[in-house]
Amino acid sequence: MTAPPAPPIRIGRSAVGAVGILAGATGVLESVVSPTLPLLQRELSIDPAQGALLSIAMLITGALTAPIAGVLGDRYGGKRVMVWLMVVVCAGGLVSSLAPNLPVLLLGQVLEGAMVGAMPLSFILMRKLLPADRSPVAIGVVSGFFVGGGMVGTLIAGPIAEGLSRHWMFAIPTLAIVVATVFAHRLLPDDQRTRSDARVDWPGVALLSGIVLTFMAGLATAPDMGSQPLLIVGVLVFLAAFVTGWIAVELRAASPMFDLRLLAKPAIWRSYVVTFAVCVGAGLSIFLVPQLFAVSGDGYGFGASLTDIGWYLLPAAAMAAISGPLGGLGTRRLSSTAVLAAGIALMTAALIGMAFVHTEVWHLVVGKALISLANGACITALVIKTAASVDEGTTGTATSLVMVIRVLGFATGAQVGGAVLTAGTPGGSDIPAESAYVTALVIASVVTALSLFAVRTMSKGAKQ
């Protein structure tokens, strides 16, 4: 049962500002792990494969939270659900700030992943609570604060971790989120429920969680599978069972998480293949580049401090911020296929360049910035392409699966990078050989380049 639309409520700039500050603080917390990953690996005595798992734990939760948050927002109101999700995020930030070891820190990151579902709800609230002529500006403000917060987090994580401790780099933004959430709760009016009968496909959520966790467990244990063949058999059996169960549940559910019948459209499944491949390449670079900055190996690496790494990654963060609008503009003036082809070619060239030319800091700075630009443009084009290939009523389902596959691609790239570095670390040393970095970056470039074969035929089955 759909409730009748309510007229927009005129909220003041203070309410929009409170949501913007909340988004900014959330962006800071979201971005502190990447530049400090070398320190976290060192202080927690974890190998690169475990560090890769830490770098993507938040994304896994986010992929599962986002579709649930939308349904709960329809049923209970977007403001109420957003506030409760931010409570979960704050709990995760607290756990991360107090974590004495890797398992506890992983738990904190998993809880922080609720922010992925909370941020889209803030955009929806701006549309519901503001007149049509004001909501786009407000959404832009909130989005800008989140991106800006990510840049701030990239810069300040290192100095805080080195000047105070790694605990404070989680605690400070968490405290800011607590304060901003209180103000947003007080200043935002309650929004009307859109659907009182909205239902969450909990069996589908549980089985998809099993798929994601089993998949990630398989990647995390990949280095040991050569000596333990039963391990890979067990992972494959569990993965097959979860996938089979999920498909059966989704095909029979009255309100499935994802309409799997969409996969019959060539344009859809090709979009998903390209999404996965592109994000594998980007995920590898996200994990490897900070490691290369920090390592001081035999004739390679730079021994950079955490503060330096933050500055080196700033151009990539800036490119990520503008990549979405550029991808949208390119799609409108050319086509999504043209943007994808150009983005994949640029990313492949940057990955190959970094694999064989990384003797100066600027080589990695430029390469990582180009990859961020190409990846953001490609994802924007893929979302637009996917939305144009389905009916309006299934747009949300089709595009949300793009986001899930995006997370799996990033996670796969990070875990492959971690596994290659772990396997490439000589016995008795904790520093991977330079050839391990080259191998991982070449793998990323090959996977990314292969996605061009799918791009060439993506127009088949599309509506436009």
The residue with greater pLDDT, 38 or 130, is 38
φ/ψ (deg, to 5) at 177: -65, -40
Contact 74, 152 (CB under 8 A): no
Burial level of 428, CB count in 10 A (0-12/13-18/19+)? exposed
- At 352 the pLDDT is 93
Give the highest mean pLDDT range of 87-91, 151-155, 450-454: 87-91
176 pLDDT above the threshold of 60 = yes
Q: What pLDDT sits at residue 463?
A: 44
Name the residue with higher pLDDT: 459 or 272: 272
Q: CA nearest 375: which of 340, 403, 399, 402?
A: 340
Task: Give the per-residue pLDDT at 363.
Answer: 92
Q: Which of 60-69, 177-186, 216-225 has the lowest mean pLDDT?
A: 216-225
Least confident segment among 128-132, 195-199, 261-265, 346-350: 195-199
CB 341 within 8 Å of CB 332: no
Mean pLDDT of 391-420: 71
In a 3-state reduction of DSSP, which class is residue 189?
coil
Mapping DSSP to helix (H, G, I), strand (E, B) and coil, where does residue 227 land?
A: coil
Q: What percent of the chain has pLDDT over 70?
A: 78
* Architecture, CATH, for domain 13-187: Up-down Bundle (1.20)
Higher-confidence residue: 223 or 213? 213
**Is 267 in contact with 385 (CB distance < 8 Å)?**
yes
Q: Out of 27-36, 88-97, 287-296, give the one with best mean pLDDT.
A: 88-97
> What percentage of the chain carries pLDDT values higher than 90?
9
Q: Which of 350, 420, 419, 353 is nearest to 378 (CA)?
A: 350
Which of 79-88, 139-148, 180-189, 235-244 comes out lowest in average pLDDT?
139-148
Q: 296 forms bridges with which residues in the sheet?
A: 301
Helices (H), 6-47: 13-31, 33-43
pLDDT the model gives residue 464: 42
* Comparison of pLDDT for 325 and 91, the residue scoring more: 91
Lowest-pLDDT range of 2-6, 61-65, 260-264, 299-303: 2-6
Indicate the average pLDDT of the chain.
78
Give the three-class secondary structure for 10.
coil
Interval 198-209 mean pLDDT: 74
Tell me how far apart the alpha carbons of residues 143 and 148 are, in angstroms, rounded to a whole number.
9
Which residue type occupies 84? W
> How far apart are alpha carbons 116 and 63 in whole angstroms?
7
Q: Which amino acid is at 417?
A: G
- Mean pLDDT across 321-326: 75
pLDDT digits (tens, 9 = 90+) for 92-148: 999 989 988 888 888 888 888 888 777 767 767 776 666 666 666 666 667 667 767
Show me where the domains of the chain are located: 13-187, 202-256, 261-455
| Whether domain 261-455 has CATH 1.10.1060.10 | no
What does the block give as tokens for 324? 């979405």
Structure tokens at 163: 């000047």
Domain 13-187 and domain 261-455, same fold? Reply is yes
Mean pLDDT of 396-423: 75
